[in-house]
């Protein structure tokens, strides 16, 4: 059991111990994730939230195919008569759970109280969990979304219910761990069963390219969430209503980001074979996609700058409103003020 220190897409994949190839297939939308893996699709953290993630993982057994069978190989007639391409050589069983605690209230600064409360869960029996008055009051504001391999739970759940589920985790697998699920599966090509080296099943994947793709998608997801936060933040509501054009620009930018993200994923899908074959031409194509992204209007540098400008604009308008300064919203309104006979300064 551990508390995740970050909530990036890479951190989620890392917690699930997902291989680069599976990561690629998931990012392309070619795999449907469920159970604990559904945590990958949990919404990005809002700037106005505090979030702590508790990761529970247990393993029960490792089932392996006979080494003798691998050494003897499979008859050619069997290999040629089946549509299967691989054979399962080992399965690692167990279960995982992710408890995603989010604060219900909007906050302007990150606090550590939630993390301290959640850390207590990992060090003590839930029935003996002692919280002070302030911690108990704060815990009422925590929602928990649970992603787990066993059981069916309704999300979100209150903090007390999350404690109850956490304390029952060892029992959920059953007395003989009969409800354990495969955590990791090793496959081996059927056509290679007549060869002596099982290690050939572990094919190299370009980890660096995979990380770059994940970083880009993670950045785009976060930028979309920042747009939503700017529009829904309590501090900006009055200004957003005062200047609807600002909201329209944020909505348009968010939609453009979403469309670009989808197009980027589609383009990566067409080139993903670079992760499976040693073809320099294909690798170069993926490099060109990444280079083109870095020069596009949706690169991290340009989107960060655009959002920083909008945040500065919102702050300036909020400051003007707080100081009771009149802000002119149109050329016609400005002209009306200038032509007013009793106004001597604008």
List the structure tokens of 15. 């917690």
What is the distance between the terminal CA atoms of the chain, rounded to a whole angstrom? 63
What is the C-alpha to C-alpha distance for residues 164 and 148, in angstroms, rounded to an integer? Answer: 14
Task: Determine contact, residues 274/208, Cβ cutoff 8 Å.
Answer: no
pTM for the predicted model, two decimal places: 0.63
**CB contact set of 168 (below 8 Å; sequence gap of 6+):** none
What pLDDT, on a 0 to 100 scale, did the predictor assign at position 87?
Answer: 81
User: 84 phi and psi, to 5 degrees?
Assistant: -70, 150
The DSSP secondary structure of 22-91, one letter per residue, reads HHHHHHTT-S---GGGGGGGSPPPPTT--EEEEEEEEEEEEEE--HHHHHH---HHHHHH-S--EEEEEE
Contact (Cβ atoms closer than 8 angstroms) between residue 55 and residue 12: no
Q: What is the DSSP letter of 163?
A: H
- pLDDT recorded at residue 250: 92
Tokens, residue 177: 């761990």
- Distance, in Å, from the CA atom of 125 to the CA atom of 171, rounded to the nearest integer, reads 14
Name residues of the chain where pLDDT drops below 70. 66-83, 104-111, 123-133, 191-206, 272-282, 329-330, 333-334, 337, 340-346
Query: Is-contact 39 16, C-beta < 8 A?
Result: yes
Name the nearest CA neighbour of 193 among 19, 68, 311: 68
For residue 245 the two structure tokens come to 């054009």
The pLDDT of residue 141: 78
Predicted local distance difference test score (pLDDT) of residue 203: 38
For residue 228, which of 257, 260, 250 has the smallest C-alpha distance?
A: 250
CA 30 – CA 202 distance, rounded (Å): 22
3-state secondary structure of 5: coil
Q: Where are the domains of the chain?
A: 2-78+92-181, 207-338
> Residue 149, Cα to own-chain centre: how many angstroms?
18
Could you check whether the bond before residue 156 is cis, i.e. omega within 30 degrees of 0?
yes
DSSP string, 277-321: S--HHHHHHHHHHHHHHHTSTTSHHHHHHHHHHHHHHHHHHHHHH
C-alpha neighbours within 13 Å on the C-beta side of residue 283: 12
Residues 94, 57 contacting (CB under 8 angstroms):
yes
Are the CB atoms for 35 and 148 separated by under 8 Å?
Answer: yes
Rounded CA-CA distance 59/93 in Å is 6
């Amino acid at each position: 059991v551990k508390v995740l220190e970050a909530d990036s897409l890479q951190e989620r994949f890392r917690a699930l111990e997902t291989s680069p190839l599976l990561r690629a297939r998931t990012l392309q939308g070619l795999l449907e994730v469920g159970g604990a893996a559904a945590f990958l699709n949990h919404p990005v953290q809002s700037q106005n939230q505090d979030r702590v993630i508790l990761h529970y993982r247990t393993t029960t057994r490792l089932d392996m195919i006979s080494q003798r069978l691998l050494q003897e190989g499979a008859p050619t007639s069997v290999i040629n008569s089946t549509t299967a391409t691989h054979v399962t050589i080992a399965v690692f069983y167990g279960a995982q759970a992710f408890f995603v605690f989010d604060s219900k209230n909007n906050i302007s600064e990150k606090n550590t109280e939630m993390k301290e409360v959640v850390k207590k869960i990992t060090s003590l029996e839930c029935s003996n969990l002692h919280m002070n008055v302030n911690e108990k009051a704060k815990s009422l504001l925590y929602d928990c979304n649970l992603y787990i391999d066993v059981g069916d739970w309704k999300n979100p759940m209150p903090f007390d219910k999350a404690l109850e589920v956490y304390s029952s985790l060892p029992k959920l697998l059953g007395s003989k761990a009969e409800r354990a699920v495969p955590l990791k599966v090793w496959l081996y090509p059927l056509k290679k069963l007549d060869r002596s080296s099982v290690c050939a099943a572990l094919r190299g994947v370009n980890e660096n390219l995979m990380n770059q793709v994940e970083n880009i998608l993670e950045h785009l997801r976060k930028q979309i969430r920042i747009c939503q936060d700017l529009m829904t933040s309590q501090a900006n509501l009055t200004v957003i209503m005062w200047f609807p054009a600002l909201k329209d620009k944020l909505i348009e930018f968010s939609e453009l980001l979403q469309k670009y993200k989808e197009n980027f994923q589609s383009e990566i899908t067409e080139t993903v074979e670079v992760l499976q074959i040693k073809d320099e031409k294909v690798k170069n194509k993926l490099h060109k996609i990444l280079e083109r992204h870095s020069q596009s209007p949706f690169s991290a540098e340009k989107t960060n700058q655009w959002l920083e400008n909008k945040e500065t604009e919102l702050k300036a308008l909020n400051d003007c409103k707080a100081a009771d300064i009149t802000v002119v919203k149109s050329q016609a309104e400005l002209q009306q003020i200038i032509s007013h006979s009793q106004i001597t300064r604008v």
